[in-house]
Structure 1
Amino acid sequence: MTVWDRPEPPTRPAPLDRERIVAAAIALADEGGLEAVSLRKVAARLDVGPMRLYGYISTKEELFDLMVDEVHAEILPEEQPGDWRETLRAHAHRTRQATLRHEWLADLLGGRPALGPNALAVNESKLAALDGLADLDTAMRAVETVAAYTIGAIRREIASLRAERATGLSDRDWQRASGPYVMSMLATGRFPALANMVHNSREVSAEVSFATGLDWVLDAVAAKLTRPQA
């Protein structure tokens, strides 16, 4: 039986429910990452005994599942965008925005499918947007491909943000600090493609980089959805 199937226990002296438990856990994770979340710490945040929580949640993994599903409510648009491309684009951007608000989400994306009602609604929205445009297998691969790009790009961005906080160096500061070494290596002539990139490429923001890559992925999906003319 999943945590969503299991009924909550009757209300007891201090008001408590899964919604309050999940909100407290998300607040802790937003402050200190997933390592800051435990049933004991959540109980302390709610000013109840830890054993009270076990009537609602059996394990920390169930708590993480509930947290992920709660954030999926932020990802689901209030209205379905007009076409498949806008739907998948909107979900990707909203997933990135939600993860920037809740960095711990990056650590929980990409594993087994999330089964909570909000996560199911997100996946329903994406598949429904492709309904009638391709066979089911093609639609599934399209959704998976966009999700793989989205999760990978988000994790890279979050890793960069964490590195900045850990070292105290912004990306620009890190580039300056490592510049002499990089330039000396490029001067050997062993890395001409990298040298061309360093000297001639245009630096863009993480948001622009994400949007550009996403559009390229959507272009590739569009090519697979285009059916040959009879």
Structure 2
Amino acid sequence: MTGRWVVSLPSVTACLPFIFFFALERENGLDLGSFADQLMAVSAGVLVALLYLYFAQAIFLSTRRSRKQSLSISLFVWFSTGYIQGVVTDLYAHQVLNANSHAVTRLWSSFFTTGLSLALAAYWFGTINKIRNENSALKQLDQLLNVDSRELSATQIEAKDSARNHLKDALLPKISQMQDLALELKESAPSATTQTTFDEIESQARNLYIEIESILEQIEKTELPDSDNRRFDLTQIKLMSGI
């Protein structure tokens, strides 16, 4: 079970109207007496049951805020609270109001209605809290991924500029120097064979120069993804799902 929501002030408060309404309907059907007598008997049972619930959660569910609790212990606390409510209501009606005892009816109706109410409220509030925590974690992960995306885009831009500058400032001047040197050596070469060799070197240098310029153009035309448009949209869970 979800730890802190097994028994909590919001969940118990949400159950009280239903518990009171059902108990009053039961006492009206049992013909306890006037509405004031019915209200007093029901209030006595509910107040003692709440006092019992306070001590029961402190004893059996003392670690509920720090870790999950056993389902069997949680069920015991919920339904025993309903049992106590039924016992006290019947005792008050019989001993104080001098009405007939309907112990079996009061015990079983309180046992099931109060127990189920507390169980459903705990499940409801626990599920809402779980979904909120998951949505908070998804939101934080979404922010982290978007920060990483922006940092990655900045790194890609830096790498692109570095490659372009290296080709333009380092390789192209050297290839141009190689072309000039091959041309000078060809003009001063003593034989036709040597001149042919330098022609080939000059041609290769020229082709390499053209190829590097083509690479530079491709780098310039390369579009990096826009970090503002590339956002991770992690779907959050709706509060009503799974309930």
Name whichever structure is richer in helix by fraction: 2
By relative contact order (CA 8 Å, sep 6+), the higher-ranking structure is 2
Larger Rg: 2
* TM-score normalised over the length of structure 1: 0.29
* TM-score normalised over the length of structure 2: 0.27
